[in-house]
Amino acid sequence: MPTGSPLDHFRHRLTAALAQALGIVPESIKLERPRDPSHGDFAFPCFQLAKERKQAPPALASEIAGKLAGLEHISAKTAGPFLNFTIDRTELARRVLTAAFDPAYGGGNEGAGKTIVLDYSSPNIAKRFHIGHLRSTVIGMAIRKMCEARGFRVVGINHIGDWGSQFGKLLTALRRYSSEAALDAAAATGTAIEHLHEIYVHYHEDEEKGGDLAKELAAESRKWFLDLESGAENEARRLWKKMTTLSLAEFERIYRRLNVTFTEIRGESAYEPDLAPTVRRIKEAGVTRISEGALVIDVEGSEKPALLQTGDGTTLYLTRDLASVFYRKETYKFWKAVYVVGSDQRDHFRELKLVVKRLGLPWWDDIEHAYFGMMRLPEGKMSSRKGRVVILEDVLDSAVEQVRTLVREKNPNLQHADEVAEQVGIGAVVFNDLKNDRRRDVVFSWQEVLNFDGETGPYCQYTHARLASIVRKSGQTPSAEADPALAGEGAQLLLAIGRFPETVALAAERFEPHLLASATVELAQLANAYYRDHRVLDAGSQQLVAARLALVEAARRTLARALALLGIAAPAEM
């Protein structure tokens, strides 16, 4: 697969030469990157072939070395059972610099003509946006940008949780512990969601007491939700609309700060008209049965059936997700439908796929759950119902405030200091959520999100600012046409820049932003090492200044582009 990497050229040369020397097809040649860069740029271990050919691996390695032909600009060397290859530094610099100066560097076209419907963020109405919601939001946004860079059409959908039986509870809570007037008053001071959240917590406290009270609450809530699902323009609907509007305003404020956008904000309630037809469609397929009063469907690999409708006739999460996946397939003809949703819902998405499969739809396996690990607190699982959450805006505010203090002390004359503090503070929080394998559970730690040293967003941003500063102070416009023979001195940095497109391709293919995030840290580390060892502005000859400047600019552009794909700003100064 062409990745658009300037290293592809060398790789192709190598696999072709090796295939010819060995008399096998190029596709079966697997090149590796040596652990130790001093061994070379590419490696070919000979163990497996040696075994097949009943030869000693080192003997085969030197035999191949003798037969290699057409390795223009690549030198080969054996190291025991390994064949190591090193790219000619001048040719490496020439190709990498030219590629990296292209504004679309890192892009590709393997996604051309393919549509990905990506479901991310999807918070619940009437609950505060907490640190756990951040994961889906920023992981989803990074996946979207990476996939778009690789040529996919991505439809980003915010599947707002604005439907379901919890609205019955919320309406009950509003009537019992508060009033519409009190909600309006809270809205006037911008605290409507806090207010709703509080009464929601109150409800669950009472519910936990059990007894008659809990029964009353449950009955009342059921009635409210039935009213809502009746479709009539009644009291329930009017209040529901009000809560929805108020919540969306808070979400908008956060998305603006995070620079997160959607193609479509379409809540679960939008599928309300599709629910009855969806249930009918599944019933008509003859795969449902009634169990304990509920409409269920059996799915393979599980003795428990999936529930489509409750004994009351109200719908469930699964029903609404089925309606929405049908809508998405019909509307967007997706190549893949990807859900950036927590790992606690793995069984749910397995059920969703298997129900679609049972309906005989061939695209069932195009549904993919790009799950992420749970965000927990040191004291245990977060819970909106128990009010035990870390509010995202508090985290963002703390991070920005802390950066503001740092800027004042480190760079007091900085222009637009507030804007930079916002970019770096947000960058720290976002990067912190992207840097590890998304499937891992994380325990929230203030100390970690507020750390700006080492493998962090601010470290990458700082490196970018340093590179930008060198270019700015040179007073020159860097050019990729600089003498590649001189730029070759930064081989490790050139290689890291050269790997960028294939990293984006892999991260997009696996929906794994952390692959890009860790490559970005590595790039920043190598850039730091480069300008530590190679003075740019006082390099001596004009040719050497131009060559080093070209490399600095190539690194700067790649770093900026990587951060952009991760949804992080790259200020020129900080």
Interface with RNA by CB under 7 A: which range of 178-186, 275-283, 287-295, 484-492? 287-295
Binding mask 21-60 for RNA (x = CB under 7 A): -----------xxxxx--xx--x-x-xx--x-----x---
Q: Are 93 and 484 in contact (CB under 8 A)?
A: yes
3-state secondary structure of 286: coil
User: How crowded is residue 215: how many other Cβ atoms within 10 Å of its Cβ?
Assistant: 11
What's the start-to-end Cα distance of the chain, in Å? 39
Answer yes or no whether residue 283 interacts with RNA by CB under 7 A.
no
Distance CA 481, CA 478 (A): 9
Query: Shortest gap between Cβ of 72 and RNA (angstroms)?
Result: 21
> Which of 90, 191, 398, 436 touches RNA by CB under 7 A?
436
Place of tokens 């967003």: 457
Closer to RNA by Cβ: residue 118 or 186:
118
Q: For the segment 299-318, give every residue that binds RNA (CB under 7 A).
A: 304-305, 307, 310-312, 314, 316-317
Query: Shortest gap between Cβ of 101 and RNA (angstroms)?
Result: 20
> Which of 346, 397, 416, 419 touches RNA by CB under 7 A?
346
Q: For the segment 203-262, give every residue that binds RNA (CB under 7 A).
A: none
Answer yes or no whether residue 465 interacts with RNA by CB under 7 A.
yes
Give the torsion sign (CA, 23, 25, 30, 31).
Answer: positive
Distance CA 182, CA 174 (A): 9
Answer yes or no whether residue 518 interacts with RNA by CB under 7 A.
yes
Query: Shortest gap between Cβ of 184 and RNA (angstroms)?
Result: 26
Q: For the segment 407-426, give every residue that binds RNA (CB under 7 A).
A: 407, 410-411, 420, 424
Answer yes or no whether residue 82 interacts with RNA by CB under 7 A.
yes
Answer yes or no whether residue 268 interacts with RNA by CB under 7 A.
yes
Closer to RNA by Cβ: residue 124 or 247:
124
Q: Are 539 and 486 in contact (CB under 8 A)?
A: no
Q: What is the DSSP letter of 374?
A: P
Binding mask 472-511 for RNA (x = CB under 7 A): -x------------------------------------x-
Answer yes or no whether residue 453 interacts with RNA by CB under 7 A.
yes
Place of tokens 């059972």: 81
> Which of 29, 406, 485, 564 touches RNA by CB under 7 A?
406
Answer yes or no whether residue 323 interacts with RNA by CB under 7 A.
no
Identify which of 319, 322, 433, 419 has the alpha carbon closest to the alpha carbon of residue 372.
433
Query: Shortest gap between Cβ of 57 and RNA (angstroms)?
Result: 7
Query: Shortest gap between Cβ of 451 and RNA (angstroms)?
Result: 6
Answer yes or no whether residue 525 interacts with RNA by CB under 7 A.
yes
3-state secondary structure of 367: strand
Closer to RNA by Cβ: residue 115 or 225:
225
> Which of 448, 479, 481, 541 touches RNA by CB under 7 A?
448
Q: Are 501 and 558 in contact (CB under 8 A)?
A: no
The widest CA-to-CA distance across the chain, in whole angstroms, is 87
Q: What CA–CA distances, in Å, run from 522 to 19, 43, 264, 492, 517?
A: 32, 20, 35, 10, 9
Interface with RNA by CB under 7 A: which range of 8-16, 62-70, 74-82, 108-116? 74-82
Query: Shortest gap between Cβ of 321 and RNA (angstroms)?
Result: 9
Closer to RNA by Cβ: residue 116 or 308:
308
Closer to RNA by Cβ: residue 119 or 268:
268
DSSP 392-417: HHHHHHHHHHHHHHHHHHH-TT-TTH
Identity at 6, one-letter amino acid code: P
Interface with RNA by CB under 7 A: which range of 232-240, 455-463, 485-493, 559-567? 455-463
Convert 383-412 to b/e letters by CB count within 10 Å (16 or more is b): ebbeeebbebeebbeebbebbbebbeeeee
Closer to RNA by Cβ: residue 171 or 186:
171
Answer yes or no whether residue 12 interacts with RNA by CB under 7 A.
no
Closer to RNA by Cβ: residue 458 or 498:
458
Answer yes or no whether residue 574 interacts with RNA by CB under 7 A.
yes
Distance CA 449, CA 430 (A): 9
DSSP 218-248: HHHHHHHHHHHHT--SSHHHHHHHHHHHHHH
> Which of 128, 133, 150, 514 touches RNA by CB under 7 A?
514
Q: What CA–CA distances, in Å, run from 502 to 86, 505, 560, 562?
A: 19, 5, 17, 12
DSSP 69-122: ---TTEEEEEETTEEEEEE-HHHHHHHHHHHHTSTTTT---TTTT-EEEEE---
Binding mask 152-171 for RNA (x = CB under 7 A): ---------x-xxxx-----
Closer to RNA by Cβ: residue 254 or 275:
275
Interface with RNA by CB under 7 A: which range of 88-96, 145-153, 325-333, 342-350? 342-350
Query: Shortest gap between Cβ of 85 and RNA (angstroms)?
Result: 9
Pairing label, strands 74-79, 375-377? unpaired
Chain-centre distance of CA 355, in angstroms? 27
E strand spans, 138-219: 153-158
Closer to RNA by Cβ: residue 186 or 434:
434
Closer to RNA by Cβ: residue 31 or 187:
31
Alpha helices by DSSP H, listed for 338-445, are: 346-358, 392-410, 417-434
Q: For the segment 531-560, give every residue that binds RNA (CB under 7 A).
A: 531-532, 534-537
User: For RNA, how many residues bind (rule: CB under 7 A)?
Assistant: 98
Q: For the segment 351-380, give every residue that binds RNA (CB under 7 A).
A: 374, 376, 380
Tell me the angle at which helices 542-565 and 513-533 cross, rounded to the nearest 10 degrees: 160
Structure tokens at 130: 């907490």
3-state secondary structure of 11: helix
> Which of 198, 235, 274, 455 touches RNA by CB under 7 A?
455
Place of tokens 């679309």: 104
Q: Are 86 and 73 in contact (CB under 8 A)?
A: no
Query: Shortest gap between Cβ of 521 and RNA (angstroms)?
Result: 7
Answer yes or no whether residue 329 interacts with RNA by CB under 7 A.
no
Query: Shortest gap between Cβ of 475 and RNA (angstroms)?
Result: 11
